[in-house]
């Protein structure tokens, strides 16, 4: 019922958004002298603000059409190289001829970014991908909005997530470096652990976990405490709703993206209110650069996707309430998951000093779980002065974190196959 009400409200606002757009366009038309007055700019700014806060934001584009290598511009195109109902594996292919001209035939390390399936689209890692494109062969998981997956495609839970990761690693081969950003840390560690337990020859060269909830008992944050304070039945009874028609995933039970977004916004409501007020004043003052930065950020931040009921609830129970992987009790389709089986896959953990989503120590717990991994194959880094988003994006990521990750991958990649 809640989902249907949300959809009805969105559709009911359509003519008002159209009117706001028409008002904004007419006031900003070069032939309209009122557009240059304070009253005109104020009305246009109010119309744009109204339209932006009532719109449903679609999946953003990657907009990564080229990169720079040794001073040369190299074209980039995205292509799905592996597909299943719940995920596409995207490859950011660099133009071969331009790449050879810029660097020669020296192969770059292959890296798989496992994007979060926690409400936002994989494009949230656009800056991460952009930073690695000049000197890495980049792949990323592009998870599908549960609202868009027909019921006939079946269920998708945390075990399926881990199975997908294992399949993609096997598809890319043993020279791949796996980077799990935030939420996928536990299922990615589970997938790699299972590969080690089975002696899978396709197990990766290295694994990196960034701001991941490997063990949320350590330095619990507000979201961690909320997950433990509320019983499992509360999440199942209050946060799961049915996708209404005519969406492709009609009648599927999901955790709606708009509820996840409401939770994100409420964590820092004052900051978001101030940001939108500043956006309004920038528009009135004609500060186009500041207004465009606001648009770019919120076009991404407000674009959210639904999560399947079983994936969301199993994550709440296994990761945040019962801490199964951290306690050594995680099962994958009934098979025990044992991270201590990992003995030859290099491990890097990255945390942010001011992370209010995954507290310090939660990601480092991967080192404790991989108890038989030689010390020479382990590295940990805590980045000062960054929060959760800064762990994988922004200036400090580009200048401090990414160089450490790249050096780690190159060093370990050269030795990985020799260890086996």
User: Do the domain assignments include residue 260?
Assistant: no
**Same domain for 326 and 212?**
yes
**Same domain for 28 and 154?**
no
User: Do the domain assignments include residue 296?
Assistant: yes
Instruction: Give me the sheet containing 307-308, strands edge to edge.
Output: 241-242, 253-255, 307-308
**Same domain for 45 and 172?**
no
Token pair recorded at residue 231: 């019983």
User: Do the domain assignments include residue 237?
Assistant: no
**Same domain for 297 and 364?**
no
The residue from 283, 301, 319 where one domain ends is 301
Would you say 170 and 113 are in contact if contact means Cβ atoms under 8 Å apart? no
Q: How many CA atoms lie within 13 A of 104 on its CB side?
A: 1
Using left for φ > 0, alpha for ψ between -120 and 50, and beta otherwise, residue 2 falls in alpha
User: Do the domain assignments include residue 246?
Assistant: no
Using left for φ > 0, alpha for ψ between -120 and 50, and beta otherwise, residue 338 falls in beta
User: Do the domain assignments include residue 66?
Assistant: no
pLDDT value, residue 416: 65
Element (DSSP H or E) covering residue 415: helix 402-416
User: Do the domain assignments include residue 62?
Assistant: no
**Number of folded domains that form the chain:** 2
**Same domain for 276 and 324?**
no
**Same domain for 318 and 412?**
yes
pLDDT value, residue 32: 73
pLDDT value, residue 88: 97
What pairing do the DSSP bridges indicate for beta strands 66-69 and 72-84?
antiparallel
pLDDT value, residue 38: 81
**Same domain for 20 and 157?**
no
**Same domain for 6 and 141?**
no
Token pair recorded at residue 329: 């009790």
**Same domain for 29 and 81?**
no
**Same domain for 118 and 17?**
no
pLDDT value, residue 198: 96
pLDDT value, residue 418: 66
pLDDT value, residue 142: 97
User: Can you say how many angstroms the Cα of residue 384 is from the centroid of all Cα atoms in its chain?
Assistant: 22
User: Do the domain assignments include residue 238?
Assistant: no
**Same domain for 215 and 347?**
yes
Name the DSSP class of 107: P
Residues 247-290 have pLDDT tens digits of: 899 999 999 988 888 777 776 778 877 777 877 788 777 777 88
User: Do the domain assignments include residue 65?
Assistant: no
pLDDT value, residue 51: 79
Residues 319-341 have pLDDT tens digits of: 999 999 999 999 999 999 999 99
**Same domain for 295 and 312?**
no
pLDDT value, residue 116: 94
Q: Which residues in the chain show pLDDT less than 50?
A: none
Q: What is the CATH number of the domain that holds 122?
A: 3.40.50.1820
Query: Residue 227 sits in which domain range?
Result: 77-232+307-419
């Amino acid at each position: 019922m809640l989902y249907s009400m949300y959809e009805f409200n969105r559709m009911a606002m359509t003519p008002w958004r159209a009117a706001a757009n028409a008002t904004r366009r007419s006031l900003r038309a070069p032939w309209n002298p009122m557009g240059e007055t304070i009253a005109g700019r104020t009305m246009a700014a109010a119309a744009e603000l109204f339209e932006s806060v009532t719109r449903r934001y679609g999946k953003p584009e990657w907009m990564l059409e080229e990169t720079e290598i040794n001073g040369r511009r190299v074209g980039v195109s995205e292509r799905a190289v592996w597909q299943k109902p719940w995920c596409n594996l995207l490859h950011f292919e660099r133009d071969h001829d331009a790449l050879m001209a810029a660097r020669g035939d020296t192969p770059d390390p292959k890296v798989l970014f496992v994007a979060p399936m926690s409400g936002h689209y994989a494009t949230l890692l656009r800056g991460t991908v952009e930073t690695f494109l000049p000197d890495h062969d980049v792949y990323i998981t592009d998870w599908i909005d549960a609202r868009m997956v027909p019921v006939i495609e079946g269920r998708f839970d945390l075990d399926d997530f881990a199975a997908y990761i294992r399949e993609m690693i096997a598809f890319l081969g043993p020279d791949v470096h796996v980077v799990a950003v935030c939420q996928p840390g536990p299922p990615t560690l589970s997938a790699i652990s299972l590969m080690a337990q089975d002696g899978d020859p396709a197990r990766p060269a290295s694994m990196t976990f960034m701001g991941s909830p490997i063990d949320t008992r350590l330095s619990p944050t507000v979201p961690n405490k909320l997950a433990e304070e509320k019983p499992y039945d509360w999440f199942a009874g209050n946060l799961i709703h049915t996708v209404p028609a005519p969406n492709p995933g009609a009648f599927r039970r999901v955790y709606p993206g708009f509820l996840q977004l409401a939770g994100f916004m409420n964590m820092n409501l004052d900051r978001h209110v101030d940001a939108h007020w500043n956006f309004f004043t920038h528009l009135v003052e004609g500060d186009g650069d500041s207004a465009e930065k606001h648009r770019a950020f919120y076009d991404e931040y407000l674009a959210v996707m639904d999560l399947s009921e079983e994936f969301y609830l199993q994550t709440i129970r296994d990761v945040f309430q019962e801490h199964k992987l951290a306690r050594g009790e995680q099962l994958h389709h009934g098979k025990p998951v044992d991270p201590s089986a990992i003995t030859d896959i290099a491990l890097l953990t990255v945390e942010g000093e001011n992370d209010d989503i995954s507290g310090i120590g939660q990601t480092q717990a991967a080192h404790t779980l991989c108890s038989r991994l030689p010390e020479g194959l382990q590295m940990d880094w805590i980045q000062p002065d960054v929060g959760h988003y800064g762990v994988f994006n922004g200036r400090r990521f580009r200048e401090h974190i990414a160089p450490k990750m790249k050096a780690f991958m190159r060093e370990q990649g050269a030795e990985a196959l020799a260890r086996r």
